[in-house]
Amino acid sequence: MHRFANPGRFLRLSNVILPWIAVLAAGLIAVGLYLALFVSPADYQQGESVRIMYVHVPSAWMAMFIYTVIAAASASSLIWRHPLADLVAKASSPIGACFTFLALVTGSLWGKPMWGTWWVWDARLTSVLVLFFLYLGHMALMGAFDSATRGARAAAILALVGFVNVPIIKFSVEWWSTLHQPASVLRLDGPSIHPSMLWPLLAMGLGFKLYYLALMLVRVKSELIAARLNARAATAAQLS
Amino acid sequence: MSGFLGLLTRDLRLALRRRADASLAVLFFVLSAALFPFGVGPEANLLARMAPGVIWVTALLAVLLSLERLFLADYEDGSLELMVLAPQPLELTVLAKALAHWLTTGLPLIAAAPLLALLYNMDPAGLPMLILAMALGTPSLSLIGAIGAALTLGARRGGVLIPLLVLPLNIPILIFGVAALDAALGGLNPRPHIMFLGALFLGSLVLAPIAGAAALRQAME
Amino acid sequence: MSLFEGHDLICIRGERHVFAGLGFAVPTGGALVLVGPNGCGKSSLLRLMAGLIRPASGGLSWAGTPIGDDPEAHRARVRYVGHLDCIKAVLSVRENLSFWAGLHGPAAAGEVRRGLEAFALEKLADMPGRVLSAGQRHRLALARLAASPGELWLLDEPTVGLDTAAQGRLTAAIAAHREAGGRVVAATHTPLDLEDAQTLALAPFAQAARSAEADLGAEFAW
């Protein structure tokens, strides 16, 4: 079992599927945006600003989803020492942080017309903010070591510890926010959501997921190539 | 077990011989808490209302301050290698180090907290709850902090990294620590908050040695 | 005869191969001296033998049992003296030593005294660690070997900074250890006076690198 056991197979596979995923992601996001901006109705209470939801909600989904992917990759890196798992975690972390940031920014933009202020210490916003900090810590730890292997190993342990803590943090933040203020007034999670709103939301959600997958594959690929070049340079230096 | 006690007594002896270092965290705690009135003004009611939050937040930061040295000295002089090679499970080693850290940092903070409560004009009826909540909460801070300290060994500028890793994980302790005190001061039942603090302590008692030991092992590579 | 063996060991540090395809066997009472230029992986091999790092490939075994099957038993027999001396400045020489002896079971005062005597540290016993000279610090690190008996000594540059008398004490301690059935693996640049020791010459950079290049070429064919 060598550290770079099967990058060749991975690269061949990713070269085949990458174009399909990329095209599909672009198509879904285009369709989703069209439905969201032109077809779906404006909300009777929130007006046009409800359309922020079609970016905000999928981003928030992605924030959680990517953290789960990182935790799963970290577990398989620590338990089975799978050679690609570290690279998947490393490639995913900045993407996840960006989605989390996007969720925060769109949430804040949405909050301005609804709550009259850019930021409220609402339970959801606050726990997404904490998740953003977790991403930042993961990225910082990953890059803090001179040896990439050590950075990956340490970040993997942190990701698992963080993953165990995410539900606890979310729960305690919700507890805290109900203590300090009544639950926020306007929530659109009614019992059912109208299909004209559901379809664009689903299209955007799936589009975001595929977009993440494509981006992640590209990043893993470039990490692999960089590792190969580094190894080449190191051996060349030793040979001369 | 002899290894656990040996390590604990050694760390306590080291702290005792470097008393100046050990007292820094308490000094920081008192000093930084004393800054808030300059920021928000001396109005007694406002300060009394802020007291639980200020005491907990500054305690959190004071614990952070001393975390970097938790494993770093042993890492730098090679002692950590020998601890990893000792027959005693590494999880127990992490536990012993965290316990020593709590005894030298958490315990003095608990002792100093009533003084701050006094300065903040907090209702003395809340003092027992302050002590109880801190006694349950600060060990978790040491335990979770031990994970961060172990993870950053060998990192560039580990001291700056630790807060970034540890603070988000400490938020639940902060929330329930403050809530317990607030409830007691407001005449509500603090029991559920205290139970949660206890649960968080038990959880970190299990999680921290495992994660910390894994982090120390990979730091040997 | 029970052997401490390693076979087909590959060690990767960072992105480069330190060594590949390395093997050794140390019998009861045996000694193995690792030689080779800087950076050829002597220290890495010792850390690997101690169990501090894992080999990228290959395995270590003790009397036929893989080390990984019972790491605690392996830790109980390993005594490792590396480049770092593990001395706390504010603890006395005796306190430093008895702490390390205590990690391997309750420290008997007699054993600590034996460790101090073996490296002529009795007079310094109550001095704090910070006043020791480099050679004295190194002697204190070596004294751990005598203060808590273990079957396998792993020594990284054990003679660095030692005067002739201390070197004599080290050779005597190693001889006594082997007499009692213990094994020694030492990495060194200066010739160690050990009776019928095996020598393992680690390949200098270029050779290891060439084999590594061949491996990488095979693995990265895409």
Q: What is the 3-state secondary structure (H, E, C) of B66-133?
A: HHCHHHHHHHHCCHHHHHHHCCCCHHHHHHHHHHHHHHHHHHHHHHHHHHHHHHCCCCHHHHHHHHHH
Q: Is C179 helix (H, G, I), strand (E, B) or coil?
A: helix
- Using a CB-CB distance cutoff of 8 angstroms, which residues of chain A are in contact with residue B214? 78, 157
Judge: C205–A11 Cβ closer than 8 Å, yes or no: no
Radius of gyration of chain B (CA): 18
Percent of chain C with pLDDT over 70: 88
Per-residue model confidence as pLDDT tens digits over B32-79: 999 999 999 889 899 999 999 999 999 999 999 889 889 999 999 999
Residue A139 vs residue C204, higher pLDDT: A139
Residue C80 to residue A51: CA distance in whole angstroms: 65
Evaluate the CA torsion angle B75, B69, A149, C67 in order and state its sign.
Answer: positive
* C195: confidence class by pLDDT, cuts 50, 70, 90: confident
CB-nearest partner of B85 from C52, C88, C102 = C52
Is the pLDDT at C218 greater than 60? The verdict is: no
Judge: B215–A157 Cβ closer than 8 Å, yes or no: yes
Using an 8 Å Cβ cutoff, are B26 and B112 in contact? yes
Residue B204 to residue B172: CA distance in whole angstroms: 12
Percent of chain B with pLDDT over 70: 100
Number of separate domains in chain C: 1
Residue of chain A minimizing CA distance to C10: A2
* C72: confidence class by pLDDT, cuts 50, 70, 90: confident
Q: What pLDDT does residue B22 have?
A: 78
CB-nearest partner of B151 from A78, A141, A146 = A141
* pLDDT, mean of residues C116-124: 87
Per-residue model confidence as pLDDT tens digits over B163-194: 999 999 999 999 999 999 999 998 888 999 99
C16-25, C38-47, C75-84: which has the minimum mean pLDDT? C16-25
Nearest C-alpha of chain C: how many angstroms from B86?
6
Judge: C87–B88 Cβ closer than 8 Å, yes or no: no
Using an 8 Å Cβ cutoff, are B102 and B138 in contact? yes
Nearest C-alpha of chain A: how many angstroms from B13?
30
Residue of chain B minimizing CA distance to A180: B179
Q: Establish, for the pair of chains A and C, how many residue pairs have beta carbons separated by less than 8 Å.
A: 52
Instruction: Write the CATH number for C158.
Output: 3.40.50.300
Is the pLDDT at C47 greater than 60? The verdict is: yes
Is the pLDDT at C13 greater than 80? The verdict is: no
Neighbours of C90 (CB within 10 A): 15
Neighbours of C3 (CB within 10 A): 16
Q: What pLDDT does residue C204 have?
A: 66
Using an 8 Å Cβ cutoff, are A155 and A90 in contact? yes
Judge: A227–C15 Cβ closer than 8 Å, yes or no: yes
Using an 8 Å Cβ cutoff, are C128 and C155 in contact? no
Q: What pLDDT does residue C19 have?
A: 80
Judge: A162–B211 Cβ closer than 8 Å, yes or no: no
Q: What pLDDT does residue B133 have?
A: 96
Asked if the C-beta of A112 comes within 8 angstroms of chain C's C-beta atoms, the answer is no
Q: What pLDDT does residue C111 have?
A: 81
Every domain of chain B and the residues it spans: 2-219
ipTM entry: 0.90
Q: What pLDDT does residue B32 have?
A: 94
| DSSP type of residue A37 | I
Q: What pLDDT does residue C104 have?
A: 81
Interface of A with C in 170-229 (CB under 8 A): 227-228
Asked if the C-beta of B127 comes within 8 angstroms of chain A's C-beta atoms, the answer is no
Token pair recorded at residue A202: 């689903």
Asked if the C-beta of A149 comes within 8 angstroms of chain C's C-beta atoms, the answer is yes
CB-nearest partner of A234 from C16, C220, C221 = C16
Domain holding C10, by residue range, is: 3-219
Length of chain C: 222
Residue spans of chain A under pLDDT 70: 1-5, 44, 180-193, 238-240
Highest mean pLDDT among B106-115, C14-23, C165-174, C199-208: B106-115
Using an 8 Å Cβ cutoff, are A50 and A43 in contact? yes
Residue A4 to residue A1: CA distance in whole angstroms: 8
Radius of gyration of chain C (CA): 18
Percent of chain B with pLDDT over 90: 79
Residue A228 vs residue B6, higher pLDDT: B6
Please, which residues have CB within 8 angstroms of residue B27's CB and are 6 or more apart in sequence?
A: none
Using an 8 Å Cβ cutoff, are C18 and C41 in contact? yes
Query: Using CB atoms, which chains have 3+ pairs under 8 A with A?
Result: B, C
Q: What pLDDT does residue A186 have?
A: 45
**Residue C31 β-bridge partners:** C184
Per-residue model confidence as pLDDT tens digits over B84-98: 998 889 999 999 999
| C50 burial type by CB count under 10 A (0-12 exposed, 13-18 middle, 19+ buried) | buried
Nearest C-alpha of chain C: how many angstroms from A226?
11
- Using a CB-CB distance cutoff of 8 angstroms, which residues of chain C are in contact with residue B3? 102-103
Q: What pLDDT does residue A184 have?
A: 44
Nearest C-alpha of chain B: how many angstroms from A3?
14
Is the pLDDT at C220 greater than 50? The verdict is: no
Q: What pLDDT does residue C193 have?
A: 74
Interface mutation vs chain C, best among B82, B83, B216, most C CBs within 10 Å: B82
Residue A167 to residue B17: CA distance in whole angstroms: 42
B18-22, B62-66, C130-134, C171-175: which has the minimum mean pLDDT? B18-22
Q: What pLDDT does residue C14 have?
A: 64
